[in-house]
Amino acid sequence: MRIVWLVAVGAAFVLLVAPHHAHAGDRGLASAFMCQCGCGLTLASCTHASCGPRDQVLGEIAALERQGRSPAQITAALVGTYGEVILGAPTRRGFNLLAWWGPYGAIAAGAALILGLGMSWVRRPTVITPDSPPGLSPQQREHLERELVAFRD
């Protein structure tokens, strides 16, 4: 019962905290689309002081916003022009679901494995092991004494 509770709390945590939709952040849509200059960053964080591809896409976004297009319509228009590579995060469809849910699936599988193994380890009868190491032979004792004296010096 305790384990069911643990799993439920874990699942609730992920569902509560994991956002379910693309969220653009403080810089609006500029944070949701990748710059096409090759920097590997979003339009909002492209590191180039002057960047033609960034300014072009930002201009297109501004123009579409002036036309009253919604974020979803702007996204569709940009994907139509540039392909999915313009999106800062993959769509939540088909093969891309592997990227979105793969890590959580792996962690959930790992948690199940730990719980399963852990329960079997808990049930296992305790093995009594000797507390002290086996006795030393005279040669070993002499060797140890010599090394310890050298080490202290």
Crossing angle (nearest 10°) for helices 71-82 and 52-66: 140
Contact status: 12 vs another protein (CB under 8 A): no
Contact status: 114 vs another protein (CB under 8 A): yes
> Which residues within the stretch 51-70 sit at the binding site for another protein (CB under 8 A)?
none
Contact status: 140 vs another protein (CB under 8 A): yes
**Cβ closest to another protein, residue 76 vs residue 106:** 106
Contact status: 40 vs another protein (CB under 8 A): yes
Size of the site for another protein (CB under 8 A): 69
- Minimum CB separation of residue 67 from another protein in Å reads 21
Are the beta carbons of 11 and 18 closer than 8 angstroms? no
Q: Which of 66, 131, 139, 149 contacts another protein by CB under 8 A?
A: 139
Contact status: 76 vs another protein (CB under 8 A): no
Are the beta carbons of 29 and 141 closer than 8 angstroms? no
Contact status: 149 vs another protein (CB under 8 A): no
Q: DSSP string spanning the chain? A: -HHHHHHHHHHHHHHHHS--S----TTGGGGTBB-TTSS-SBTTT---SS-HHHHHHHHHHHHHHHTT--HHHHHHHHHHHH-GGGBSS--SSGGGHHHHHHHHHHHHHHHHHHHHHHHHHHHSPPPP--SSPPPPPHHHHHHHHHHHHHHH-
List residues binding another protein (CB under 8 A). 2-3, 10, 13-14, 17-19, 22-27, 31-32, 34, 38-42, 44-47, 49-50, 83-90, 94-96, 98-100, 102-104, 106-107, 110-111, 114-115, 117-119, 121-122, 124, 126-127, 133, 136-137, 139-140, 143-144, 147-148, 151
